[in-house]
Amino acid sequence: MKTTYLSIVVLALMTVACAERPVEQSEMTETAKQFVQRIQEEGAVLNKEISAAYWVRSTYITPDTAILAAKAGERGLSFASSMVKQAKQYRDSTMDQDTARAIELMLRGSSAPAPDDAGLRAELSSILTDMEGQYGAGKYCSDVGDCMELQELESVLAQSRDYDELLDVWQGWRQVSPPYRKQYQRFVEIANQGAKDFGYKHLADLWQGGYDMESEVFVEESRRLWGQVKPFYEELHCYVRGQLSETYGADKVPLNQPIPAHLLGNMWSQTWDNIYGIAEPYSGVASLDVTKALVEQGYDELRMTKTAEAFFTSLGLPSLPESFYTNSMIKKPRDRNVVCHASAWDIDNGNDPRIKQCVEINEEQLETLHHELGHIYYYIMYKDQPSVFKGGAHDGFHEAIGDTIQLSMTPAYLKQKGLIAETVDSDQATINKQMKMALQKIAFLPFGKMIDEWRWQVFSGEIPPEDYNAGWWRLREEYQGIAAPIERSEADFDAGAKYHIPGNTPYTRYFLSFIMQFQFHKALCDAAGYEGPLHECSIYGNKVAGKKLGDLLAMGQSKPWPDAMEAMTGQREMDGSAIIDYFAPLNAWLKIENEGQQCGW
């Protein structure tokens, strides 16, 4: 996915990055409540320092900042290991409900648990810092000497319809990741040891255990959710493959095979909305060219960010602090390498929220700004919670908020903001609008699912190091119906060409968020008193819906996520039925269009 709410090790450390304190100093000499209070006090002291080190690393990629970030990360990893050891002592103690919740959250560890060994902790921190740095500085230099960074390569994939040019840039970016394949293998070894030291079987077990349910139950739950939406994805895949076959020829896109991965308008084939021009059901009906309007009206990075903020404030949520605009990086610097992958940061317990995004003047980046501000408003609204409760009810909640707002960016809203000239009320216009949305939201679902399926199998040993690439493409074909356009081998490391692999950011959160955002959207539309087709609802300007949203954000992770879900939606489980409701017109249309076609792969 194009965004994440925390950078690499900051993600692992934000709630546990505290000064190292040996376990022996607190062997049951304090109550569980006192222990939790101490952890939070120490965390408040160093959290800002460690976050700042990683912020500088991400916005100034140099050997010097790598040293600073690695050392900061090492301190945090050391404390995380010590903290979990201490927290284990209180498992069977009598304590109040909030303290018990805090201990439970501590015992979940981080996405990169460090072993109880100083040398391995230092090595782990160094590997994580270096991998992200290599990714952030990556570029592809062609045979004629022209070099392009990721943003430029992505623009080619989004705009070009030349099969060979697309293949060249797709292949070119994947030259970035093989150099850190061995580092990633070593990361898996060390982090697995850390997970075992934390009491888990391996890192997959730890990641799967972070959802207020047993690991095995969560795995089955995620499969259930995929099963709800898979038939709709298969209809979309069938239709898009047919349109691509007409565009490039059946010799390049056979109608009974997976789709070549470089033809879907995105470096990772994770969203397909950039090929809307190929897939558009009714040519020219209800133009939705927001990018053209942004350019013609002279939008810059600041105005786009202010536009995103205005949606949240229209709901009654507070304005962003001035420090947000002073401290954020919303424009790519010309004089240095940075990690352009968009992310939101909570530097100082809600007092210094900021984003890092190389904003470009287009619709996708405007949507990304809404996504990032979803994280920022989470930080702001739960800032008064104890530190250990500062987080989403689970990580999918954090990712879902901004995307829920995106669903209210309807044609009527865009017209109100002057970003489209008119709205067209017709069945054809509805199908076009839904197709554009489905190419983003529905196309993403199997990709969101398979990335951690790959990592879970890597962490558990089901996919051994000698099969990293083969396992990656096996899952891409199984889930997405996507295939590599050229032969790949184990000399490649195609998983590592996606930021979240070297950045070690768990990805199931995005899959869950793409399910829940429709569930949230329906609940907010109901709160707003909206009556009508779900896809036409916008909560823009509705303070009642805004209060329901703000109340959810203010809870943080103080309660198990089913409690938060119930407060928001009245349901206690994640549910994909709102997606089917939202896209009902397109789903019916696709089934008719695909009649007689050989769907599947």
Q: Is the pLDDT of residue 134 over 90?
A: yes
DSSP designation for 599:
-
- Which pLDDT tens digit goes with each residue over 315-335? 999 999 999 999 999 999 988
Residue among 202, 370, 375, 521 flagged as catalytic: 375
Give the mean pLDDT of 365-371.
95
DSSP 352: S
Which pLDDT tens digit goes with each residue over 524-580?
999 999 999 999 999 999 999 999 999 999 999 999 999 999 999 999 999 999 999
- Cα–Cα distance, 154 to 421 (Å, whole number): 28
How much is the pLDDT for 1?
43
**Alpha-carbon distance 38 to 32, whole Å?**
10
CB 209 within 8 A of CB 116: no
Helix (H, G, I), strand (E, B) or coil at 329: strand
Which whole number is the average pLDDT over 186-198?
93
> What is the C-alpha to C-alpha distance for residues 468 and 490, in angstroms, rounded to an integer?
7
pLDDT class for 27, splitting at 50, 70, 90? low
Does pLDDT of 424 surpass 80?
no
Three-state DSSP state, 497? helix
Query: Which H/E stretch holds residue 482?
Result: strand 482-483
- What pLDDT score does 26 carry? 47
Q: Is the model's pLDDT at 205 over the cut of 80?
A: yes
Rounded to an integer, what distance in angstroms lies between the CA atom of residue 69 and that of residue 498? 21
**What percent of the chain lies above the pLDDT cut of 70?**
95
Please say if 500 is a catalytic residue: yes
What are the tens digits of pLDDT across the range 466-496? 999 999 999 999 999 999 999 999 999 999 9
DSSP string, 57-75: HHHS-SHHHHHHHHHHHHH
Catalytic residue among 42, 123, 309, 372: 372
Which of 202, 262, 394, 500 is an active site residue? Answer: 500
The average pLDDT across 426-451 equals: 95
Angle at Cα 456 formed by Cα 454 and Cα 460, nearest 5°? 120
According to the model, what pLDDT value does residue 571 have? 96
Q: Which among 42, 123, 132, 399 is annotated as catalytic?
A: 399
Start-end of H helices in 257-362: 276-279, 290-296, 301-314, 322-327
The lowest-confidence range among 133-137, 144-148, 294-298, 429-433 is: 144-148
Catalytic annotation on 478? no
With 80 as the cut, is the pLDDT of residue 591 above it?
yes
SS3 200: coil
Catalytic site residue from 341, 394, 521, 535: 341
**Catalytic residue from among 32, 53, 286, 342:** 342
Q: Which residue has the higher pLDDT, 18 or 25?
A: 25
Give me the catalytic one of 378, 468, 507, 510.
510
The answer to whether the beta carbons of residues 537 and 521 sit under 8 Å apart is yes
Is-contact 172 146, C-beta < 8 A? no
Higher pLDDT, 118 or 435: 435
Q: Quote the pLDDT of residue 111.
A: 83
Each residue of 77-130: pLDDT tens digit? 777 777 878 888 888 888 999 999 998 888 776 788 888 888 998 999 899 999
Catalytic, 180? Answer no
Active site residue 246: no
* Spatial separation of the C-alpha atoms in residues 519 and 539, rounded to whole Å: 14
Active-site residue, 378 included? no
Share of the chain above pLDDT 90, in %: 76
Q: Which residues contact 458 (CB under 8 A, 6 or more apart)?
A: 188, 468, 471
Residue 575, SS3? coil
Please confirm, yes or no, whether 202 is among the known catalytic residues: no
C-alpha–C-alpha distance, residues 479 and 486, integer Å: 19
Measure the CA–CA gap between 33 and 1, rounded to whole angstroms: 38
Q: CA 535, 536, 537, 541: dihedral to nearest 10 degrees?
A: 140
State the pLDDT at residue 298: 96
521 tagged catalytic = no
CA dihedral 209, 215, 221, 224 (to 10 degrees): 130
Residue in 340, 334, 338 with CA at minimum distance from that of residue 61: 338
Average predicted confidence (pLDDT) for the chain: 91
Q: Please report the pLDDT score of residue 17 as a whole number.
A: 30
Known catalytic residue: 371? Answer: yes
SS3 490: coil
Note the pLDDT of residue 28.
61
pLDDT on residue 24: 40
Quote the CA–CA distance of 62 and 75 in Å, as a whole number.
Answer: 20
- pLDDT value of residue 150: 93
